[in-house]
Amino acid sequence: MTTRRMFIAATCIALNLTLAKVANLLALPVYIDSTGTILAAALLPPLVAIAVGICTSLLGAVVISPFWAAYAGTQVAIALIAVMCIRLGLFQRWWSAILAGFVIAITAAIVSAPVTVIVFGGVTVSGTTAINAILMASGRSVWQSVIGGSLLIESIDKPAASLLAWLALRQLPASVVSPENVRAEAT
């Protein structure tokens, strides 16, 4: 791995953890933990973007909450869907980046729900747990509550993360964002 690629990957991990830590400290019902993973999908080869997501989950388990390690698979799914969206050109315009965020959100909710229900019994971070509890109190099952709560939170979180990634990509020099540059480094 080149020094450039390592620097970008480390920056993307730090961005994920910094935004997530702020959201966690403020007890926001969103995670904001995938902006760096989406950026990595645009700036790095797919396997490196996946590694950024996994490292985010593992380091997040140490610096934010032990729950994070169980969601490494969600970060992998986010990286893969972000790569697909970027290759389809969905990060060319702000509105299509938001659309990509909704696709990422649905994927993240589907991948995360079994972990939340099976591993944690529907209880994870405060904001999401509150929504899940409200849905369970209304008579929904734990599965329905977690999926509904996840879709609600993710439909805010991932489009916001995608829009932030789009904004960051617009500020970077073309030589950094160039798909040819990423492909050339993959060899």
Q: Say if CB 166 and CB 94 are below 8 A apart.
A: yes
Residue-level pLDDT at 127: 66
Q: What is the mean pLDDT of the chain?
A: 90
Which CATH code fits 3-186?
1.10.1760.20
135: closest CA among 152, 159, 119?
152
Would the pLDDT of 29 be above 80? no
Average the pLDDT over 22-30 and give the result: 84
The tens digit of pLDDT for each residue in 44-86 reads 999 999 999 999 999 999 999 898 999 999 999 999 999 999 9
Which phi and psi angles does 42 have, rounded to 5°?
-85, -30
Residue-level pLDDT at 184: 47
Amino acid of residue 67: F
Higher pLDDT, 177 or 71: 71
Q: Helices (DSSP H) in the chain: which residue ranges?
A: 3-25, 35-43, 46-63, 72-87, 94-114, 126-137, 142-171, 174-177, 179-186
Q: Say if CB 84 and CB 162 are below 8 A apart.
A: no
Amino acid of residue 152: L
Would the pLDDT of 13 be above 70? yes
Would the pLDDT of 181 be above 50? no
**Angle formed at CA 145 by CA 143 and CA 146, multiple of 5 degrees:** 65
Which phi and psi angles does 90 have, rounded to 5°?
-75, -5
Would the pLDDT of 183 be above 60? no
How far is Cα 59 from Cα 97, in angstroms, rounded to an integer? Answer: 27
pTM of the model: 0.91
Of the pLDDT bands very low, low, confident and very high (cuts 50, 70, 90), residue 180 is: low
The tens digit of pLDDT for each residue in 118-174 reads 998 888 766 677 888 888 889 999 999 899 888 999 999 999 999 999 999 999 988
